[in-house]
Amino acid sequence: MKKFILNIVKFLGFLIPSYIILLFIWSFFMPQFMAKNVRNKIASYGHLFTRVQEIKTHKNPDILFIGSSHSYRGFDPRVFSKMGYTTFNLGSSSQSPINSKALLHQYLTEINPKFVVYEICGETLETDGVESSLDLLSNNKIDENAFEMAISLNNIRTYNTLIYNYLRQKIGFNKFVSEPKKQNGNQYISGGYVESKYSKNPLHEEKKGKWNLIEKEIDILKENISFFKKNKIPFILVQTPISKKMYESKTNNKETEMLLSKLGKFKNFQGEIPLNDTIDFYDSNHLNQEAVVKFNLKFIDYLKSQNIKF
C-alpha cells in the first residue's frame, strides 16, 4: 500500500509540472480557437489591459466607478470633468461581485477615491464570474486576490488561464504588449471609459423570464460593501438604464431592486430620463454616446441633489 501511494506521488510529481509546461507552450503558440480551455489573448477586448496600466496616473479621484460593461461604457470621464469632477473607471466585461472583490482588494486603497459608484443590477448578480475572470487573469496582475478568485470559481478555464498568464507575467512577456486605443468599433478614453461607434439598437424580442440571482454573488456583494465601510469610503449602488423592452421582460425587477436597496444607498436610473430603445441604445444593454451624456448629466444632478460633495 505504501509503495502504491509512493508511486502515485511520484506520478503526480511528474504529471503536474508536465501539464503546466505543455499548457504554457500550447497556449502561447496556438490561436484561441485551438486553445478553448484557456484565454491566451491579451489586450483583446474591453481595454482592461490599458485601464489597469492607467491606475498609477489616476490617484485620489473624486469618484471611482466599478462594475460591468454598464460601468465602463456608461460613465464618461469627459462629462464629469466638464462638471468639475475627477473620475476613474475600474469596470470590466461581465464583472460580477466575485470579480469586483479581486479588483477592489487589489486597487481600492491604491486609487484612494473619495467616493465609489458601484454599478450593480439583476444581470450582474446572475453572472457566475467565470467569463470576467478570464478577462481579469489575462489583462490584470495576478496576485493572491486573483488566486483566491480562481479557487472560488473552481473552473478549468479559469485555472488554465491563471497558470498560463501567471507564467507570462513572471517571464515578463506582458511588458511588450501594447493595446490599440481603437479596436472593433470601440475607442478607449483615458480614465477607463470605452466609447462605441455604434448608434442604433437593432431591436429583437426579449425572452420573458426573471433574473436568476446567485446567492454566492449576493454574499460577496455584501463583502464588497463591508470593504468600503472598513476603508471608510462612502459609496452608492447604481443601476444604469437598459432598454425598456429588456427591463420589462424580467418579472422580478422589483424584488431585485428591493434587495439592493437593503444593502446600502441604491439608485435605479431606469426610467429616470426619456430614452428610446432604438435611438438611444446600441444594444439592449448599452446606451449609445449621446444617451451616455444625457444619463451622466442626470446622474451628476442626482449627486448634487443628495448633497454629495467631494
pLDDT on residue 22: 76
Cα-only R_g, the chain? 21
User: What residues of the chain score a pLDDT lower than 70?
Assistant: 1-15, 18, 203
Cα-Cα end-to-end distance for the chain:
68
Residue-wise pLDDT tens digits, 254-276 = 999 999 999 999 999 999 999 99
Whether pTM > 0.95 for this model: the answer is no
Check if the beta carbon of residue 42 is closer than 8 Å to that of residue 263. Answer: no
Check if the beta carbon of residue 236 is closer than 8 Å to that of residue 266. Answer: yes
Distance CA 167, CA 173 (A): 9
pLDDT on residue 280: 95
**Residue 124, Cβ neighbours under 10 Å: how many?**
27
Residue-wise pLDDT tens digits, 89-115 = 999 999 999 999 999 999 999 999 999
